[in-house]
Structure 1
């Protein structure tokens, strides 16, 4: 597999993110964004984990990828869930033609998804979830694209192991539980901004992320402030929001 200079740069960034992290949630979020940029044809990436037998999308590159994961939770079927449970990789070339998960695929197609790859995540010798690559085009993911996805999924597993070792007084299950609680706060903040500004979930998530990056404050802390106050924190005057519907 021959990689471009940009892909090699992204892989270097990925390794640095995993080794330098002290926040599992933030690391998994960054991994989903890198996967979306790195794997050709990917329009959205998510990571789902299991806590006490229940799935949760703890990290995602955008609200669209999150919704595609959560459709599977609603229907109790889908490639993400099966990858997590079995440890097998699932590549769907055309969601509109796949018959293995009929309730899920019908709804996913309506959301604009056409193909996907679900890759199991491993840490400490056990499956703990799956990373999902989604595309709006059919038959997107070649063998090389899947191989790149597996490299990134392995790094997500490494991140979980690093976090487990770093926080020696807390086990991996507790780390993932914290990730799920953080995700709940982010989802609440997205709901607040959608209601206030009449924007989509993607636009609301974009607002949170832009303020987080501009202020160099973790996304979940910005989200918590929105939930607590009902107001998106004001950035520096030089900031210019790029998301639709982001004006006060």
Structure 2
């Protein structure tokens, strides 16, 4: 190949690499926006699978394996065949997804390697249309797991695919961890605001009872509790209703 041809080939290779990196980066940006809004982890994991299927060529089937108390389960999958491959690994107690989850290493394999590496798993998936396996460790809310790619293309996955998947999972773990913490903090803040609002309403009702019945704060509170229990409603709801009735009468 002449020098000019080599330059053109190198340029095409560089352009392809940049494009694939852009797709992975775009997927991570989309994931960040999703996890800040979506509290359902199953929805987030499903979106992660679909993002990776789009961002990494050859990722025809994608799944997420989670180890809960040491037992593997599939948290999300893009296809029934992906589930079948996962379940074959769980039954055989071996395979790329389990090895990645347990060792923390990216695992890549071709069908021809299965009899030597994971013979029981290889027998279970012998009839499935999968020509390449690629799994990267992926922790979800502290639980070990893996993000699994299964390819139907003849040459399976290349080293670049493994590098891109590792880049995605490493960044996605951080995005997921920070965003989920933000959601929990936001939920706690909402609960705190609700508690403070409830406290304010109860204190208003208690002040009215103290003024009307000329009793102490403790006695007024006990009276409100007794009346809310007899009405079979929460104290905050009873206090709010009590204040509304007082204002209406006034």
TM-score (norm 1): 0.60
**Which structure shows the bigger proportion of residues in helix conformation?**
2
TM-fit CA distance, 1:6: 7.5
Please say which of residues 108-117 and 28-37 is displaced more in the overlay: 108-117
* Distance in 1, Cα, partners of 2:30 & 2:181: 21
Unaligned runs of 5+ in 2: 1-16, 188-250
Match of 1:38 in 2: 55
Contact 2:61-2:151 at 8 Å conserved across structures:
yes
Give the 3-state SS of the residue equivalent to 1:29 in structure 2: helix
TM-fit CA distance, 1:54: 0.7
* Distance in 2, Cα, partners of 1:4 & 1:156: 16
TM-score (norm 2): 0.59
Q: 1:158 aligns with which of 169, 174, 178?
A: 174
Contact 1:84-1:129 at 8 Å conserved across structures:
yes
**Structure 1 residue ranges (4+ consecutive) displaced by more than 4 angstroms after TM superposition:** none
Match of 1:145 in 2: 161
Q: What are the residue-to-residue correspondences of 1:139-218 with 2, within 5 Å?
A: 139-158=155-174, 160-161=176-177, 162-167=179-184
Contact 2:36-2:182 at 8 Å conserved across structures:
no
Unaligned runs of 5+ in 1: 171-248
Match of 1:119 in 2: 136
* Distance in 1, Cα, partners of 2:155 & 2:22: 23
Match of 2:91 in 1: 74
Contact 2:20-2:56 at 8 Å conserved across structures:
no
Cα gap change, 1:14 to 1:163, in 2 (>3 Å)? closer
Cα gap change, 1:109 to 1:155, in 2 (>3 Å)? farther
Cα RMSD of the aligned pairs, angstroms, is: 2.6
* Distance in 1, Cα, partners of 2:93 & 2:52: 25
TM-fit CA distance, 1:21: 2.9
Match of 1:51 in 2: 68
Q: 1:64 aligns with which of 70, 76, 81?
A: 81
Give the 3-state SS of the residue equivalent to 1:137 in structure 2: coil
TM-fit CA distance, 1:50: 1.0
